[in-house]
Chain A
Amino acid sequence: MLTKFETKSNRVKGLSFHSKRPWILASLHSGVIQLWDYRMGTLIDRFDEHDGPVRGVHFHATQPLFVSGGDDYKIKVWNYKLHRCLFTLLGHLDYIRTVQFHHESPWIVSSSDDQTIRIWNWQSRTCISVLTGHNHYVMCALFHPKEDLVVSASLDQTVRVWDISALRKKTASPADDILRLSQMNTDFFGGVDAVVKYVLEGHDRGVNWASFHPTLPLLISGADDRQVKIWRMNDTKAWEVDTLRGHMNNVSCVLFHARQDLIVSNSEDKSIRVWDSTKRTALQTFRREQDRFWILASHPEMNLFAAGHDSGMIVFKLERERPAFSVSGDSLYYVKDRFLRFFEYSTQKDTQVIPIRRPGSISLNQGAKTLSFSPTENAVLICSDIDGGSYELYIIPKDSLGRGDTVHESKRGFGGSAVFVARNRFAVLEKSSDQVLVKNLKNEIVKKSALPIATDSIFYAGTGNLLCKTEDKVIIFDLQQRIVLGELQTSFVRYVVWSNDMESIALLSKHAVVLADKKLVHRCTLHETIRIKSGAWDDNGVFIYTTLTHIKYCLPNGDSGIIKTIDVPVYITKIFGNTIFCLDRDGRNRPIIIDSTEYVFKLSLLKKRHDQVMSMIRNSELCGQAMIAYLQQKGFPEVALHFVKDERTRFNLALESGNIEIAVASAKVIDEKDHWYRLGVEALRQGNAGIVEYAYQRTKNFERLSFLYLITGNLDKLSKMMKIAEQKSDVMGQFHNALYLGDVQERVKILENAGHLPLAYITASVHGLQGVAERLAADLGDNVPVLPEGGSASLLMPPNPILSGGDWPLLRVTKGIFEGGLDSAGRGVQEEYEDAADADWGEDLDIVDVVNMHNGDVSVALEGEDVDEQNDEGGWDYEDLELPPDVDTPKTATSARSSMFVAPPAGLPVSQIWVQKSSLAAEHAAAGNFDTTMRLLNRQLGIRNFAPLKTLFTDLHMGSHTYLLGFSSAPVISVAIERGWSESASPNVRGPPALAFNFSQLEDKLKAGYKATTAGKFTEALRLFLGILHTIPLIVVESRREVDEVKELITIAKEYVLGSMMELKRREMKDNPVREQELAAYFTHCNLQVPHLRLALLSALTVCYKAGNLNTAANFARRLLETNPTNENQTRTARRVLQAAERNMTDASELNYDFRNPFVVCGATYAPIYRGQKKVSCPYCGSHFVPSQEGQLCAVCDLALIGSDASGLLCSPSQVR
């Protein structure tokens, strides 16, 4: 039993859950009805109008109503929104035991000690039926949840089932007046609209409670004979099915569980018992010390129960509902019902993986509690409380993902908790001995390690580390070093959530979240009043967690807030940006989209990512007093300024952040004295005299203004101030100003006007205004004051300020990045955009030229056959390879200085195995056996000149091994790399060597060569194509098809090499126009790609045309046009040449070139060899030569001897097989 909420009060006699809200009603023996929020744990309301105990209470399913019935014989219907009783139904003549609303009709059923059951219409507020028949107190009466039935239990030892369908008919046809009349008559005469259907006898004492099964035709009852009885009914009869014995005293209430095969009962024996309703056995008993139980209630939609007892009530559930899950990368493994399931976040695909074992003994809370997953081994550990704590280890077969139906064999073991600590190791907590067992995937103990503290449970804490938890602290323990890496005092931790990078950890206890780093250094603690359910880290380091009621966030500095409210508890599994993935209690995965703006904004502020802050201010609706208060509190008034529209707040924030301009603007709008005053103070602090003056002017604060003028030396304005004071007849102000100005005459005048003649006289005489003094003396007559003797008086003149007028040097206000940030940020974005627009041009235009290179020629097929024949002929040649001496024979151990130990003889290096196994030249080269390589090449391809191949040989050899740093200071291990690795390759079987050259590299080279040709860079092209020709002898491909491609590549490369060489030659022949034309002409007969052919034709055409060989030029032009050139210029040139040639079909000079007669070009002399003439060819590249070249090195490939014998290219193991 998991207690969710408890109250202390008077005896609770009635309980009712609200169907939607987390509320429960409890009616007390004292007469009070309490309304509790069991999630928040608060008393919402109390209703105190009944006189004496209230035994029955019930919420209406949809209306804001509830009904109560008490020992004052009254049934009261209340509206909880209005907090008052709407009306009272009177009629019962004794205590009322139970009251219940009908689920759809406007009825209330009530049972009473007056031996009747009454059905009331709460809309018409009348009693519509009185069910009589019981001959003792009726303890309980309840509607059937679907059918027109009522069940009642009475102290007359019977349970009765009543048929009330007639009642429905009566209310269903109110239009029929006559019928109604007759019914009224029947009502009046004792009612036949509710009749007893069955009387269930079997209990031998009074029955306290009876209720229907929510779906099945079953009844359950509990009685003073301490028994619970199950009854079954059909259309015609009802009978006793079984009796559940076990309670030690009167059974007070009993219910069926709506979703599980369980029965819950409670009794005056101070216990709640849970029974299996199919096996009819007792499962569990929860006992209280003092309190007798009186009432039970179940939640209409959730798995919640409540029980009332002598001193309060408890809200509880029978089983944990938290699904066990484990997140690994993009996937979530979790347990639902009897299955392990798999959920992929990216696709949101949910699949059933394997069934897991059902616990052997049925009892409560035996489901999977935690789940730990090892992604590399695809292994799952499921822990549960079965047999007092045990785990099961499943290896998920990779292929059966998604179609598992058979129960897989699992490995089991006992232990408090089990968790993977490395890819193939898991730790099991053995609580009794305070140690962990580290086990491998075969469930064998690899290691035992004592724990430094008495641990309740363990969690993963990085590879090889465990997080151990006790009542009041957690530690991270290194299993290998057996040392404590970190320790933190916390309250009882229930769950642990690591961030994705394993740098931060969140420890969740019932009412607190503690964030710490990976060494358990405390960062912050959050306290919640509501239970915390789950949490996950987002990628920015914000911890997002759920309570029963809310999704909330916590920033690394401990700032937290609410993201949204939720109706039902969910368990966060993973967070992707704005999407939170949760599991709900039914084991469904659901994404929740949240507005992350607030916490992302706060996080950006915290991390001082001001650009982000700016863009968020600009783009999102981030407003509200809370945010402004937050910003102010965190010392970002200048940021808050950007949010605020309210001028007063704006003014305050501006002053706080020292932004005087905004403050002035706001002050102007507000235009209140107080604000001007404060503006003046701030402006003065900053030294902005202009604003100070303006502020003083606005507040008409003349004294301050005068003083300001004085210290700024603004005498003009000061005298103006004096005038103003005069006009306002402010004598003191006038005098002050005069004093400031040092204007004696004015002062005398003021004093005189004010009637202070003696003072005026003294002033005048002291300052030597004799004339005025005399006049005043005359006015004063006898009263001329005596001037003090001694001391020479002088006129006090205010000193001139050094800087007069204008502002003082301004106080430097720390200007945040936000000053003008809006503008600059905006501009930045635009620039970036423009840059990006520039970037994407002028690439990839040439690629078009290169496609279609594999347009299979007929010749390829022919050649393929050729090779076959050759292979047959030369197939036996490999036999007589000179193999290195057999190293396998032991030649050591002769020294044998140590008598007892005989060292094993050295094995065969992999490279030798390669040599033995292979007849491919490249593989021999990789093995470093160069002489056999050369022999092979010589035999196969007639290659004689190996100089160009030197680097290729060494590269192959060097690329065949990797270097593994082994034991410190010991020589490195070199490891042979094998070709064609696959996951399923069996070890210890040597594959062929991996080669540094492969066919795709050559294809790349070919493309580069084409490109160079297009660009007319023939030296470059020559180098590339020659490179291809040189590499091919050392290429290995897998399939026959690829062999053909290689051969085709030889032909292509050869043609281009020849062409390029002729073109280069031609460029040297500028002084020999005939030869130049010939070479240009031959070039057009190399087998080139169409675009290249066009270029060659164009060049030949130009050369011949210039030399006056119009006829030949015209032929080129025709051939060019036949290729349908896409380039306009080419077409135009060709047309023009044709036109010119038509007029004059002659050749100026004789060429050794007959385009009508097919020919090949000699690779050495660049002379045409017409069909039928004798020729020899290169055994490797197949270039043709005039017979005189026989025995020479091939001028094209520079490798083979012309005309020598060769067995043909062998470049694939498939050719040997």
Chain B
Amino acid sequence: MATPDLLFGLRNNFFLGAYQAAINNSDIPNLSEEESIERDSLVYRSYIALGSYQLVINEIESTAATALQAVKLLALYLSSPENKEATIASLQEYLSDPAYGNNPIVRLIAGIVFMHEKDYVEALKHTNVGGTMELHALNVQILIKMHRSDYAEKQLRIMQQIDEDHTLTQLANAWLNLAVGGSKIQEASLIFQDFSEKYQMTSLILNGKAVCCLHMEKIDEAESLLLEALNKANSLYSFHLPLLDVLYLPRCPLTHPHTPFIDEMQQDAKDPETLANLVVCSLHLGKQSSRYLSQLKLSHPEHVLVKRASAAEESFDRAVQTLA
């Protein structure tokens, strides 16, 4: 344990949603081969998180490591919903090959993809064995989605046994605390508070804090936190994302220093959750929520809240019909 963990900062940034910081600080010397693959996968996944799918698809060549291939599949899956069958098929191919199927990143990506497909059982099939903190954390999230907090708690125990202070353990703990509610929400809030004191503020942390506040009925506080998150992300978001893809279309080596201009722009830019939570927040404050909602509809038509809103309208109409 005495050797410093070179990738610690990178991982942390990634887990806490400081994707641009993760990308910017990825130029770490003296990495072993294994570490540099992990580094690359984290960087590419950061790009994915920022929505720069094309960059990832273009940059990962067919000769790249298995883990990176899996990351590319994730980018493919997220970038073109119309081709997702094909993507899933190639993912299945990887999974069925024992040489690749045991790669934790491949399994992780499989878990994420099947989660998007809402096939939680299939997702768990690949992730339940664990092996990395990320896989465990994903397990926790899947189980929460399945409303099985009891199982999620078991996963969390495993993570806590491995490393109680790990960022992912803390995060997973916060998710679970929020999911089970009650007094645990305060603990979740403390976890996010700790993060905010220790690391740079990301919209993930701000949102986490805000969600806790919302659940604790501190709605004004939640609103100010969310507005802070929005201000961080705002203004540049609308125009720079397409621009980014243009900028990165020509191949550029990963270690190439990125311009601060882009950094500024990408800082937590992709932030549908802030908008979604702001909608909820405004509703509870009796304020106008439509602006945030339409903003969200514009930028993220696929977001849960948007879907929920349209589903609600449909079900309303249906209900009126049945009653009539």
Contacts and interface: CB of A to CB of B under 8 A. Distances in A.
Asked whether A and B interact, the reply is yes
Interface of A: 376, 422-423, 425, 438, 440, 446-450, 462-464, 480-483, 892-893, 895, 897-898, 901, 903-910, 928, 930-931, 933-935, 938, 946-947, 950, 953-955, 957-959, 961-978, 980-981, 983-991, 994, 996-997, 1001, 1004
Given A422-B194, A903-B120, A988-B182, A963 B165 contact: no
A898 B123 CA distance: 11
B164 interface: yes
Contacts of A957: 308, 312
A420 to B, nearest CB: 12
B315 A962 contact: no
Interface in B1-50: 1-5, 8-9, 14-15, 17, 19, 45-46, 48-49
Contacts, number: 243
B273 A904 contact: no
A678 B74 CA distance: 81
Interface in B144-195: 144-149, 151, 163-165, 171, 175, 177-186, 190, 193-194
Interface residues of B, number: 95
Contact of A906 (B129, B147, B305): B147
Interface stretch (B61-69, B206-214, B233-241, B253-261): B206-214
A996 B284 contact: yes
Contacts of B171: 966
A934 B323 contact: yes
B311 to A, nearest CB: 8
Given A962-B214, A964-B273, A973 B175 contact: yes
A959 B284 contact: yes
Contacts of A462: 197-198
A675 B39 CA distance: 74
The secondary structure that dominates the B interface is helix
Contacts of B137: 967
Interface stretch (B82-90, B242-250, B274-282): B274-282
Given A462-B198, A901-B129, 16 more contacts: A447-B164, A480-B165, A481-B9, A482-B3, A898-B125, A904-B148, A906-B146, A908-B147, A954-B309, A958-B279, A962-B277, A965-B17, A966-B144, A968-B48, A970-B111, A975-B178
A417 to B, nearest CB: 20
Contact of A987 (B184, B204, B211, B284): B184
Contacts of B204: 965
Contacts of A930: 312, 315-316, 318-319
Interface string B102-129: 0000000001100110001110110011
A988 B175 contact: no
Interface of B: 1-5, 8-9, 14-15, 17, 19, 45-46, 48-49, 74, 78, 111-112, 115-116, 120-122, 124-125, 128-129, 134, 137-138, 141, 143-149, 151, 163-165, 171, 175, 177-186, 190, 193-194, 197-198, 203-204, 207-208, 210-211, 214-217, 272-273, 276-277, 279-280, 283-284, 286, 289, 303-305, 308-309, 311-313, 315-316, 318-320, 322-323
B283 A996 contact: yes
A928 B316 CA distance: 9
A984 B182 CA distance: 7
Contact of A938 (B15, B149, B210, B323): B323
A463 B9 CA distance: 15
24 contacts: A376-B190, A376-B193, A422-B165, A449-B1, A463-B198, A464-B165, A482-B1, A903-B120, A950-B313, A958-B308, A958-B309, A961-B308, A963-B273, A967-B134, A969-B112, A971-B116, A976-B181, A977-B280, A978-B215, A980-B217, A981-B182, A983-B186, A985-B181, A990-B181
Contacts of B184: 987
A969 B124 CA distance: 16
B130 to A, nearest CB: 11
A990 B179 CA distance: 10
A1004 B208 contact: no
Contacts of B322: 931
Given A482-B5, A901-B125, A969-B49, A964 B211 contact: yes
Given A983-B186, A987-B183, A967 B147 contact: no
Given A970-B112, A988-B181, A892 B308 contact: no
A93 B163 CA distance: 84
Nearest to B112: A970
B182 A969 contact: no
A990 B215 CA distance: 13
B113 to A, nearest CB: 9
B180 A955 contact: no
B183 A983 contact: yes
6 shortest interchain CB distances as A-B pairs? A907-B147, A959-B283, A987-B182, A931-B319, A985-B182, A996-B283
Contacts of B309: 954, 958
A972 B273 contact: yes
A969 B149 contact: no
Contacts of A905: 146, 148
A581 B315 CA distance: 64
Contact of A958 (B124, B143, B146, B283): B283
Given A965-B273, A994-B284, A975 B211 contact: yes
A425 B170 CA distance: 13
A981 B149 CA distance: 19
Contacts of A938: 323
Contacts of A983: 183, 186
A447 B279 CA distance: 42
Nearest to A928: B312
Contacts of A996: 283-284, 286
Contact of A975 (B17, B124, B179, B182): B179
A187 B197 CA distance: 83
Nearest to A984: B183
B124 A903 contact: yes
